[in-house]
Structures are given as C-alpha cells and as structure tokens.
Amino acid sequence: MKRFILLLVYIILIVATNGCRSSAGNGIEVIIDGGNGQFPDFLVGTWKAEEGGWGFVFEPDGQISSATVSIGRVKLQPGRKIAVPMQMGGKGVYKPGQWSVQYSYQQRELIVEITIDHFRVELGDDVIEGSTRDFFVGPVSTDGKSWWADRLSFPEYVVNTDKFHNYKLPFDPTDNPRESILFQKVTESK
C-alpha cells in the first residue's frame, strides 16, 4: 500500500512539473501532460461508475462541472455549497473543496481528486459529518469509453447517534485498501 501511495505522489509530481496547468478560479485545477496542453475530446462528457454512486461531468477544458459523490449520492458543483433533503427527514449539507483533474497522454492515465471540505448528513435523529478526500487513478481504455480507476479515500467522519456522541470513526491511512471502480462514458458533452 505504501508503494502505491508513493507511486501516486510520483505521478502527481511528474504530471505537475511537465504538464500544462489551468485553473478557472472555481476550485478546480487541470493539469495536462502532452497533447499541447489540450484536454482530450474523448474524455469530455458524463462518466458514471458501475457501483458506488460516483460520477463526473468533464468539460472541454478539463474542468469538472459536476460530480456525484457516494456520500448521499448527491450532485455537487465546484465551489458551491448545497443543502438537500434526505430520506427519513433531515437534510444534507455539502461544501466542496479543491478538485483537480490530471491527464497524461503518454500513459493514457486520468487522475481525479475530489475533496469535500465539510458535509453534514441527517438521517432521522442520526447525524454523520466530516470531510473527505478521494483520489481516482487509472488508465482510460483505447476506445475512450471506459476508465478503470483505483479509488483511495481519506475520510474524517464523526457520528452522533443514540449510542455514540461525537464519535470519530477510526481511520488508518496506512491500511487504506484500494477500491477498483469501472467508469463508463454515458454521454458526450454538449
């Protein structure tokens, strides 16, 4: 696992130092390695995971215009705090943090980072809140229609229930199993 994290850091540093950077000021950084700094057309559009509820909408400049996250399966937009009604009453409040998109033409590898600076989800009388940082790293198929991504998640969750009060759920970053997720392209961008 430590080797995978070191590899991830290495990839990020290589792409960051050799690529073209852009930021629209909305909490998203885009780094393209190769291709004259242009985001590939075949990535533009909507991508959905077969499991877990994740989804991304990539724009022609590589920005993510929206992301569906697994916590509550809500659709977030970069830099915009939202409140949504939840099942069993209550509401969910989400404040996105910094997001990034990196693509390497040579390796056909896509890296996406989604950070939620703070969320609070009420399910009846139970509450979970905290923050998350998720990385998706993997190759895009040669036909440009699927993306196998390893997900690394770094959550900080606190729960309040009848049984637990302000209980921080344990998390050990050195024992953080990868989750392989298959994303499929479901629509082209408009």
Report, as ranges of residue numbers, the positions in the chain whose pLDDT lies below 50: 1-20, 22-24
Q: What is the pLDDT of residues 46-88, one digit of tens each?
A: 999 998 899 999 999 999 999 999 988 999 999 999 999 987 7
pLDDT at 159: 95
Residue 43's nearest CA partner among 131, 111, 114 is: 111
pLDDT for res 189: 57
CB 13 within 8 A of CB 46: no
pLDDT of residue 58: 97
Indicate which CATH number applies to the domain containing 94.
2.40.128
- Please give the pLDDT value at position 25: 55
Domain that holds residue 6: 2-118+132-153+170-188
Domain membership of residue 98 (yes or no) is: yes
Q: What is the DSSP letter of 142?
A: T
Instruction: Note whether residue 65 is domain-resident.
Output: yes
Q: Which helix (H) or strand (E) holds 8?
A: helix 2-18
Instruction: Please tell me the pTM assigned to this model.
Output: 0.84
Compute the distance between CA of residue 107 and CA of residue 13 in angstroms, rounded to an integer.
15
